[in-house]
Structure 1
Amino acid sequence: MATANGAKSSSSLATADGANSPKVLLYSILLTLQYGSQPLVSKRFIGKDVIVTTFVLICEIFKVVFALILMARDGSLKGLSKEWTFMGSLTASGLPAAIYAVQNTLLQISYRNLDSLTFSILNQTKIFFTALFTFIVLRQKQSIQQVGALCLLIMAAVLLSVGEGSNKGPSASNSDQVLFYGIIPALVASLLSGLASSLCQWASQVKNRSSYLMTVEMSIVGSLCLLVSLLKFPDGEAIKRDGFFHGWTALTLVPVISDALGGILVGLVTSHAGGVRKGFVIVLALLVSALLQYVFEGKPPSLYCLVALPIVMISISLYMKYPYTTRRRRRRRSKDPFTD
């Protein structure tokens, strides 16, 4: 027991030291700024005339480029031709790719019709859907504290949905636009994100797919799905009429690059510091969203946001700090003499 405890203490100390290193601190600060500023950056630099599908397609191209660079750097790109198969790729990445393609489109629609803080808070409901689908797909259980945290998260989402959606301001049509083109797409995107995340985790564990390779595969398949959708949806006609880059400026590349780099930072923070640090980064990012919205838009958070924000912060903190532990580990804490 002494050896086990000593090993555990050493491991915990090493993890703590790594999580507090200057490099990890830098990653955490950059991720906080990126995550908190992404809604505002997208809203300011993506013009109303930009066709949503074209933006998503360019984002996917940048993801592929960054993933290939990272694969070349770690040496995994060299043996790719021997290991990769079309059926293996389609089985592992096909469905998640199609789901992410729809999710990304919904996110871009939601960006344009919600303020930055409201979007950031609603976006946190993906934690609930991720937990739900990982239980369904992978039988991954949650602790009592985590279940309570997820309930708090849903309370905040319902509060925002009812409050912002029923806020009859100067015109009811504006309120309907917020509900149907802002809140509902954000919630559906979060549901799809949870489903796709669980499928990706399944592919990683069962199919042994590397995260970089899956990024490339899903971006390519997702792009193909979007291109096919252009045959039936209005964006296809808009591209034929106005051109692929209609409404684009040089600044439109800012949210594209930011989104791609954000995915890399999430992986760096998680691998070096764990999910707890990433959870606190998300909480801090919500505060960054509120601050940036006030500074650049002069718009203070609504009453519904002010009530929902602390609920979301408490929820994410609880969820990350109290992971599920097996009964075997809990029984080690004490022995009941009457159960021998």
Structure 2
Amino acid sequence: MATAKPKGPASNSDKPDGKVWLYLVLLTLQYGAQPLLSKRFIRREVIVTSSVLACEAAKVIGALILLAKEGTLLRMYKEWTLVGSLTASGLPAAIYALQNSLLQISYKNLDSLTFSMLNQTKLFFTAFFTYLILRQKQSVQQLGALFLLIVAAVLLSIGEGSSSGSSGNNHDQILFHGIVPVLVASVLSGLASALCQWASQVKKHISYLMTVEMSIIGSLCMLASTYKSPDGEAIRRHGFFHGWTLLTLIPVLSNAVGGILVGLVTSHAGGVKKGFVIVSALLVTALLQFIFDGKPPSLYCLVSLPLVITSISIYQKYPFKVKRKEA
């Protein structure tokens, strides 16, 4: 008699509970508000590396506080091993570091419209690697929902980049220093997201602990790069907090909270649902720009809203169901 395969720890049939929905909503709001907070409170003189390192430090402190509040900090300390840490968090942290570098290269050689559209392909790669590593299949309806989400993301990207000029670089420069890096970064983003989900749901690595480990590993990689980077030279010349004000702490701390929420969402809801958060956050950004800057949402944004709502509804309503084999 053939038996059905046991449901894995992160089956698509699992519906997020109230706490997970709270994480999803908070992360959507944080993603949506972050561009406006950064634009308003981070001055041009602030060195990028200093703000990133400060954010990673805030993430570590916040995650340790939450672990202590849960009463698991001492147990985590006793059970922690270097090998286990590198296995669960080392590879995703290194992948994310490489991904960020590729995105910086690509952003300089592509117009914002092309960059934004190509960057949305990470949703497909996240679903692909989630299936490859965790064997999480998508139903036909969920694949259709992902397609709707990609369409919404493309429309939002067009709306964002409609006023931007095209790049003046030659074809080879655009291809090899623009298109190729962002596509490779999308592949890496999907892989890293699936690995984080595997570590939390299969290896039972606690989300807060992964946040601490990945922040420390990422910060060490960034500190190593400062020996040769322009930001490292600027820090040595002007000081770590050059250009900072008290208001600079607002976007830095907000970004740190978002980093912790990303870990919770990936752990409890999966990397694919994080993609829905990212696209939905673009709508939140458009709404906040209208409220605080008086900039009305574009027609593309208004068309994208029902697409996002429909895609989220379909994805949740029609999960993949395992067909049971009878004897």
The whole-number CA distance in structure 2 between the counterparts of 1:209 and 1:263 is 16
> Number of residue pairs matched?
306
Write out per-residue CA displacement over residues 148-182 of structure 1, whole angstroms, 9 at most, x where no aligned residue.
Answer: 122233334445567766x576x545999xx9999
Match of 2:93 among 92, 97, 102: 97
Q: Are the structure 2 counterparts of residues 102 and 267 from structure 1 closer, same or farther at C-alpha, using a change threshold of 3 Å?
A: closer
Match of 1:194 among 185, 190, 195: 190
- What 5-or-longer segments of structure 1 have no aligned partner? 1-14, 333-339
Match of 1:5 in 2: none
Match of 1:3 in 2: none
Select the structure that is richer in helix.
Answer: 1
Report how far residue 305 of structure 1 moved.
Answer: 4.0
- The one-letter amino acid paired with 2:67 is M
Matched, 1:261 2:257: yes
Q: Are the structure 2 counterparts of residues 227 and 186 from structure 1 closer, same or farther at C-alpha, using a change threshold of 3 Å?
A: same
The whole-number CA distance in structure 2 between the counterparts of 1:74 and 1:87 is 24
Write out per-residue CA displacement over residues 239-278 of structure 1, whole angstroms, 9 at most, x where no aligned residue.
Answer: 2233222222211111121122234556778999999998
Matched, 1:76 2:72: yes
TM-score (norm 2): 0.72
Percent identity reads 69
Report how far residue 133 of structure 1 moved.
Answer: 1.4
Q: Which has the larger radius of gyration?
A: 1
More deviation, 202-211/267-276: 267-276
Report how far residue 142 of structure 1 moved.
Answer: 0.8
Write out per-residue CA displacement over residues 297-338 of structure 1, whole angstroms, 9 at most, x where no aligned residue.
Answer: 33333444444444344333322332211112xx89xxxxxx
Q: Are the structure 2 counterparts of residues 71 and 307 from structure 1 closer, same or farther at C-alpha, using a change threshold of 3 Å?
A: same
Match of 2:224 in 1: 228
Report how far residue 96 of structure 1 moved.
Answer: 0.7
Match of 1:61 in 2: 57
Contact 1:107 1:186 in 2 (8 A): yes
Match of 2:203 in 1: 207
Report how far residue 191 of structure 1 moved.
Answer: 4.4
Contact 1:128 1:153 in 2 (8 A): no
Match of 2:151 among 135, 155, 170: 155
Contact 2:95 2:188 in 1 (8 A): yes
The whole-number CA distance in structure 2 between the counterparts of 1:296 and 1:315 is 28
Match of 2:135 in 1: 139
Match of 1:299 in 2: 295
More deviation, 54-63/42-51: 42-51
CA RMSD of aligned residues (A): 4.5
